[in-house]
């Protein structure tokens, strides 16, 4: 029996989670609810554990030898760290976009249909429709509709990142995790991705790690501030950036440390 729990209005619930790389404790007693169809930003200085937490939410940390999780993480009421849960199924529901755009060395078209094909979608018309739909969602369609057979590696960095978002959307996930998705991009590409995040939140729950304060303020509804593996303050973005509860949060946001 998979351990179940109800958390009203939230899609992911992190409960008393500790995380270890070997003997190093990277996260301490994290307790956090992520709201459905909202954008949540995770901020904090380098090494504070925000990316670790993000990768914990679709079990990507499983891939690193010698890591250990304590506590529970619920996704739609199911504990995703229950031994009966297959991480592959979790990752279908919780997609991820990485810091550096990482398209496969395949055509634009094949980048998008790669996942769906492997999960049994084989009808040519369905696949074509999916490619068009996801590329439109990621606002890339107009730029690439005539070159779908071209290698994805020939696109610009910003285009590649939007392709990676389309590729993640093609699996029809509920949640999209973004790990500093714009840190390798120029300001114009960054602006495009931020607009995109705003549009996507009607259909998806988005959790984004960012080093960029303005970005967190612009795109997110909720913000969690991390420091030394602890969640210091978690509140509505508006409140965090105008009247944070804690002095430490204010110091970080105003650039007094970090």
Burial class (CB in 10 A: 0-12, 13-18, 19+), 69: middle
Mark residue 44 as left, alpha or beta (left: phi above 0; alpha: psi -120 to 50; beta: remaining).
left
First to last CA, the chain: 44
How far apart (Å, rounded) are the C-alpha atoms in residues 72 and 16? 7
CB of 115 to other proteins, least distance (A): 4
Q: Provide the minimum distance between the beta carbon of 257 and other proteins in the complex, in angstroms, as a whole number.
A: 31
Q: CB-wise, 109 or 252, nearer to other proteins?
A: 109
**What does the alpha-carbon distance between residue 209 and residue 70 come to, in Å, rounded to a whole number?**
22
Q: Which is nearer to other proteins, 85 or 191 (CB)?
A: 85
Q: How far is the CB of 100 from other proteins (least distance, A)?
A: 7
Catalog residues that contact other proteins under the rule CB under 8 A.
58, 60, 63, 65, 88-93, 95-96, 98, 100, 102-105, 114-115, 118-119, 151, 153-154, 164, 167-168, 171
Return the DSSP state at 151: B
Nearer to other proteins, 164 or 240 (CB): 164
How far apart are the C-alpha atoms of 163 and 158, rounded to whole Å? 9
Return d(Cα 254, Cα 249) in angstroms, integer. 9
Query: Least distance to other proteins from the beta carbon of 91, Å?
Result: 4
Q: How far is the CB of 138 from other proteins (least distance, A)?
A: 15
For 131-149, b/e burial (b = at least 16 CB within 10 A) is: beebbebbbbbebbeeebe
Q: Closest approach of Cβ 103 to other proteins, in Å?
A: 8
């Amino acid at each position: 029996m998979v351990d179940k729990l109800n958390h009203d209005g939230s899609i992911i619930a992190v409960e008393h989670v500790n995380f270890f790389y070997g003997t190093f404790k990277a996260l301490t007693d994290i307790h956090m609810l992520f709201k459905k169809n909202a954008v949540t930003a995770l901020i904090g200085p380098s090494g504070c554990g925000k990316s670790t937490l993000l990768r914990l939410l679709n079990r990507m940390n499983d891939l690193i030898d010698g890591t250990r999780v304590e506590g529970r993480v619920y996704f739609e009421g199911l504990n995703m760290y229950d031994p009966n849960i297959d991480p592959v199924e979790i990752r279908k529901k919780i997609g991820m976009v990485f810091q550096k755009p990482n398209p496969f060395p395949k055509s634009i078209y094949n980048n998008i249909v790669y996942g769906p094909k492997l999960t049994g979608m084989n009808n040519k018309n369905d696949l074509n429709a999916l490619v068009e739909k996801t590329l439109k969602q990621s606002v890339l369609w107009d730029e690439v509709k005539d070159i779908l057979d071209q290698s994805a590696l020939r696109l610009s960095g910003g285009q590649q990142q939007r392709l990676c978002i389309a590729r993640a959307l093609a699996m029809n996930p509920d949640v999209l995790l973004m790990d500093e998705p714009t840190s390798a991009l120029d300001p114009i590409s960054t602006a495009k991705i931020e607009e995109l995040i705003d549009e996507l939140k009607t259909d998806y729950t988005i959790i984004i790690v960012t080093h960029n304060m303005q970005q967190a303020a612009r795109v997110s509804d909720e913000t969690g501030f991390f420091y030394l593996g602890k969640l210091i303050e978690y509140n509505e973005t508006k409140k965090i950036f105008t009247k944070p509860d804690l002095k430490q949060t204010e110091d970080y946001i105003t650039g007094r440390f970090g």
